[in-house]
Chains A and B, each alone.
Chain A
Amino acid sequence: MRKCSLESIDRVFAAINADASLYLPVDGDDGKAVYTKWEDGVKWSGALNTVRSPKSFFFPQMEDLVQFRTEGKTIEVIDPRKESEDFVVFGVRACDAKSFEVLDRVFLVDPVDSYYASRREHGVIVTVACTRPVETCFCKTFGIDPAEPAGDVSVWKTDSELFWQSNTEKGEKLLEKLADLTEECTDEAVAAQKEKINSVMSRLPLADLKADAFGAGKTMKFFDAPEWDELSESCIACGTCTYVCPTCQCYDIKDFNTGNGVIRFRCWDSCMYSEFTKMSAGQPRLTQKERFRQRFMHKLVYYPEKNGGLFSCVGCGRCLSRCPISMNIVKVMKTIGGKADE
């Protein structure tokens, strides 16, 4: 474990940025943190987390897959990919760090999504342990420890210092680069910090939320629960929850006619949309209730079923604070989970 003083942070950032683009949460003009490219003078946000999740570093909202250029009646096929540059994402929280595991299990299994894989390869994730969780946090529900964030490098912040620990080879390399700016240290301060965090975690209003009722094999138990009607009643079918969610990974592939050819691109899609996965024969889920149910069943039942019990919710709480009508996974879990046990 290594440490550096908080005052030296800008020098550390500069060192990281020297040969890989550094992105970190920075307060925007509306006071909300957003991942921004670091440059001299850019200040690391003190906010707990960003409005948008860091998944877009690896799975951007929109990316070109292939391009067809037409000239008269001939077509030329172009691969628009440029070799991805190395980059470092700093300040990722434990919940979001876990989300990469969820995404990896989708994009890195056969057939490997080479667009995603290439970005994962070039990206280094530096996580930072939480210090001030808020009422919407419930990562513990999914077994995530905010005091022990994953990632290539884990960082703990105290009042005056930052403690660095590498977890992977990539992380090791990064810390080597910072050798001059950091010094070797014991993990006592970190242990104290962890304890502090855990005591806060136990006071959170959602501390007792359990996901035990859900998981693999529960499809039949929940699918026909009558509560879905009521829960989905107020859903306005927007994609906010999906788009702020760090683990939602659905996309659509579309063609854009440029006038001189076609750009085939993919962009995020949301299972909450009525046009989602619409095919020539229509869409598989016709009502908002079905679409609503799909999203939560996927996170809590279908995904775990296929991925060794791993839930595809990380309890980051973004959807809790962002849903226009305040309907969210916690309300679903409490309603469905509770009722189904009776």
Chain B
Amino acid sequence: MQRIGVFVCWCGSNIAATVDVKAVAEALKSEPGVVYSADYQYMCSQAGQDLIKEAVKEHNLTGIVVCSCSPRMHEATFRKTAAAAGLNPYMVEIANIREQCSWVHKDIPSGTEKAIILGKAAVAKVNLNTPLTPGESPVTKRALVIGGGIAGIQTALDIADAGFPVDIVEKNPTIGGKMAQLDKTFPTLDCAACILTPKMVDVAQNDKIRIFSYSEVSEIKGFVGNFDVTIRKKARYVKEDVCTGCGLCVEKCPQKKIPNEFNLGMDNRSAIYIPFAQAVPKVATIDAEACTMLKKGKCGLCSKVCTAGAIDYKQQDELISEKYGAIVVATGFNPISMEKFDEYAYSQSKDVITSLEFERLTNAAGPTAGKLLRPSDLKHPHTIVFVQCVGSRCASCAEKGKEYCSKICCMYTAKHAMLTRDKYPDTDVYVFYIDVRTPGKNFDEFYRRAVEEYGVHYIKGMVGKVTPEGDKLKVRASDLLNNKQLNIDADLVVLAAAIEPDKSARPLATMLTASMDTNDFFTEAHPKLRPVESPTAGVFLSGACQGPKDIPETVSQAGAAASKVIGLLAKDKLTGNPCVASSDELMCNGCSSCERVCPYGAISYIDKEFRMPDRTVAIRRVASVNPAVCQGCGACTVACPSGAMDLRGFASGQIMAEVDAICK
């Protein structure tokens, strides 16, 4: 049986004017468990707190009920008071008789009556309270960044800058991501490589940063501060530490007909390749699917020409296990496939291209060495039609595209149009749009320049059909503002394809037990207040994996994610919230209902041996809650059919006791 002290606060006249505080104290005195009851003008004042402390000592109190203002106001205060008096701080309950009583009710009898009932509910709850102690867990001071695009690079650099070691896992042979494929960047038009490659070099040279390129995360266990991650380093058949990146092997490789991913298949590469000149790490990789030596055991030319002796045809995938305190997801995006948009003739004509392909066509390191030439006949195009929102904002065609706005297309199309007009003034450029969206610093000015200074024809309306005819592309479109149909004979059509999260994100989310939205973008812990954190503690979001983003936004989010990681890694120990769920293993069925509703992935399952009531021994699957990860929402407690799952501090018994007290 508890020994409970009740402390009724007047809050000056805030409570005392509408609630007869003496009557409340008197009434609660006769509640079961209550051994002491008092009222005081300002319970939260030093004198009030002293009153509580003295009463705890004098009456050997095991629990405290404070009838006062909202617990959101002073629960923490009175918990500290209790702790100072030697009581467990979680033995304190607050009856909110100010905000939810004296301030909203006018007459004293009903206010007093309600205050007594709220007090009784708090007493009933404290009777069932148990001392709670927050758990502690150590923090591994190393971060993992998954994805080596600009988001991952920036996050890694910022974390390393703060002195913590970081590993980047990149599935491609080089870091750099999408930004490495871009030509210029809006709205300042500086060259992407000029601003990105120095950062890539910084990463390579930073002794706090390790790059696992051509690698994937294959398993994640553990929780915030203590992740155990297995990284699969795929065999590239080239010893990374030996290869000098001289490129001789690439030159000599006889197998040269492999579509070059870096240039989106618009030219070819060899079976052994370095994606681009500034690749980091600048190490060759053998494409096992294409290499004659690996496939048929004949050739071996690269090995012969490699003076460093870096080629190793027997190389195997390597599994690396590492512990991390924090994980940053920076898996980025991809343009969606255009196969469902055949009205634009993407599959029929080489001269219908996506905007990313356009980037490569205008990039000095691209397949045309930066000259804007049509892919079909390498002629200079004179009429170019840009189509906006291909697959974006498809509210009514969700099965084809995406319902959301891809956000970056308006700006890069303005950039493409402007650059085309700048370099090739003889070119007519049309842009078909639904809306032009330019929120961002200097964005609208940029777009206006494209229209006003560069004479790009912006037409509000959608392109209905593109038909290849001879060496022209017949573009049928509507001009909504002038309400007329347009027929344009274009040389090149550029589609602003919607972007979607990288395909690797979904399986990664499963491994991380991080939540995703229906579009496979990672969900943030709070859309406004915690935008760079996943609801899964210790998992942070950087860049377009969370939603479509341009480079400035990506970089700022990357920095924000890094600062959150740094904040976490700076701690030696994590103190948990003791009000977490826990499962009674004897009652647990292992049905997984709780796991499915847990937004934090705090629940896992273990096979445990039980002595069953019938004297047999059975191995049963039971839920186990990681208190370091659980945030205490209680979703699992209701999902659990057997009632094995309960929430400390808000136990079913406690809540029902409150219900009973209120209703009696």
A and B in contact, CB less than 8 Å? yes
Chain A positions within 8 Å of B, measured between CB atoms, are 72-73, 257, 259-260, 274, 282-283, 286-288
**Contact B615–A287 (Cβ < 8 Å):** yes
**Contact B615–A259 (Cβ < 8 Å):** no
**Contact A259–B663 (Cβ < 8 Å):** yes
From A72, A257, A259, A288, give the contact of B614 (CB < 8 A): A288
Assess whether B297 is interfacial by the CB under 8 Å rule. no
Assess whether B527 is interfacial by the CB under 8 Å rule. no
**Contact B615–A73 (Cβ < 8 Å):** no
**Contact B30–A73 (Cβ < 8 Å):** yes
**Contact A260–B613 (Cβ < 8 Å):** no
**Contact A287–B30 (Cβ < 8 Å):** no
**Contact A259–B660 (Cβ < 8 Å):** yes
Which residue of A has the minimal Cβ distance to B659?
A259
**Contact A274–B613 (Cβ < 8 Å):** yes
From B32, B614, B663, give the contact of A286 (CB < 8 A): B614
**Contact B614–A73 (Cβ < 8 Å):** no
From B30, B661, B663, B664, give the contact of A72 (CB < 8 A): B30
A288 to B30: give the CA distance in the assembly, Å.
47
6 additional contacts, CB 8 Å, given A274-B613, A287-B614? A73-B32, A257-B660, A259-B661, A260-B664, A283-B613, A288-B614
Within 8 A of A (CB), among B67-106: none
Residues of A within 8 A of B615 (CB): 286-287
A208 to B663: give the CA distance in the assembly, Å.
60
Which residue of A has the minimal Cβ distance to B661?
A259
Which residue of A has the minimal Cβ distance to B34?
A73
A73 to B663: give the CA distance in the assembly, Å.
19
Contact indicator per residue, chain B 17-41, by CB within 8 Å of chain A (1) or not (0): 0000000000000111000000000
Within 8 A of A (CB), among B644-664: 660-661, 663-664
Which residue of B has the minimal Cβ distance to A291?
B614
Residues of B within 8 A of A282 (CB): 613
Given the known inter-chain contacts A72-B30, A73-B32, please indicate yes or no for A259 contacting B613, CB distance below 8 A: no
Residues of B within 8 A of A257 (CB): 660
A203 to chain B, nearest CB (A): 43
Residues of A within 8 A of B663 (CB): 259
Residues of A within 8 A of B31 (CB): 72
Which residue of B has the minimal Cβ distance to A287?
B614
Contact indicator per residue, chain B 237-259, by CB within 8 Å of chain A (1) or not (0): 00000000000000000000000
Chain B positions within 8 Å of A, measured between CB atoms, are 30-32, 613-615, 660-661, 663-664
Residues of A within 8 A of B660 (CB): 257, 259
**Contact B32–A259 (Cβ < 8 Å):** no
Among the interface residues A260, A282, A283, A287, which one has the most CB atoms of the partner chain B within 10 A?
Answer: A287
Residues of A within 8 A of B30 (CB): 72-73
Residues of A within 8 A of B664 (CB): 259-260
B277 to chain A, nearest CB (A): 74
Which residue of B has the minimal Cβ distance to A283?
B613
A287 to B30: give the CA distance in the assembly, Å.
46
A283 to B613: give the CA distance in the assembly, Å.
9
A288 to B614: give the CA distance in the assembly, Å.
8
B121 to chain A, nearest CB (A): 12
Residues of A within 8 A of B661 (CB): 259
A260 to B664: give the CA distance in the assembly, Å.
7
A260 to B663: give the CA distance in the assembly, Å.
10
A260 to B661: give the CA distance in the assembly, Å.
10
A282 to B31: give the CA distance in the assembly, Å.
33
Which residue of A has the minimal Cβ distance to B27?
A72
B42 to chain A, nearest CB (A): 29
Which residue of A has the minimal Cβ distance to B31?
A72
Which residue of A has the minimal Cβ distance to B663?
A259
A278 to chain B, nearest CB (A): 10
Which residue of A has the minimal Cβ distance to B612?
A286
A73 to B30: give the CA distance in the assembly, Å.
6
Which residue of A has the minimal Cβ distance to B124?
A259
B319 to chain A, nearest CB (A): 47
Which residue of A has the minimal Cβ distance to B662?
A259
A154 to chain B, nearest CB (A): 47
A193 to B615: give the CA distance in the assembly, Å.
55
Which residue of A has the minimal Cβ distance to B29?
A72
Residues of B within 8 A of A286 (CB): 613-615
What are 20 A-B interface contacts by the 8 Å CB criterion?
Answer: A72-B30, A72-B31, A73-B30, A73-B32, A257-B660, A259-B660, A259-B661, A259-B663, A259-B664, A260-B664, A274-B613, A282-B613, A283-B613, A286-B613, A286-B614, A286-B615, A287-B613, A287-B614, A287-B615, A288-B614
A117 to B664: give the CA distance in the assembly, Å.
35
A20 to B31: give the CA distance in the assembly, Å.
46
A260 to B660: give the CA distance in the assembly, Å.
10
A180 to B208: give the CA distance in the assembly, Å.
111
A164 to B32: give the CA distance in the assembly, Å.
61
A82 to B661: give the CA distance in the assembly, Å.
30
A22 to B664: give the CA distance in the assembly, Å.
38
A122 to B613: give the CA distance in the assembly, Å.
44
A282 to B586: give the CA distance in the assembly, Å.
14
A282 to chain B, nearest CB (A): 8
Which residue of B has the minimal Cβ distance to A259?
B664
B67 to chain A, nearest CB (A): 18
A257 to B653: give the CA distance in the assembly, Å.
13
Residues of B within 8 A of A283 (CB): 613
A288 to B615: give the CA distance in the assembly, Å.
11
A32 to chain B, nearest CB (A): 31
Among the interface residues B30, B613, B663, which one has the most CB atoms of the partner chain A within 10 A?
Answer: B613
Residues of A within 8 A of B32 (CB): 73
Residues of B within 8 A of A73 (CB): 30, 32
Among the interface residues B614, B661, B663, which one has the most CB atoms of the partner chain A within 10 A?
Answer: B614
A282 to B613: give the CA distance in the assembly, Å.
9
Which residue of A has the minimal Cβ distance to B664?
A259
Which residue of A has the minimal Cβ distance to B660?
A259
Residues of B within 8 A of A260 (CB): 664
A90 to chain B, nearest CB (A): 43
A114 to B31: give the CA distance in the assembly, Å.
35
A321 to B30: give the CA distance in the assembly, Å.
55
A74 to chain B, nearest CB (A): 9
B125 to chain A, nearest CB (A): 15
Which residue of B has the minimal Cβ distance to A288?
B614
A73 to B28: give the CA distance in the assembly, Å.
11
A259 to B657: give the CA distance in the assembly, Å.
9
A284 to chain B, nearest CB (A): 12
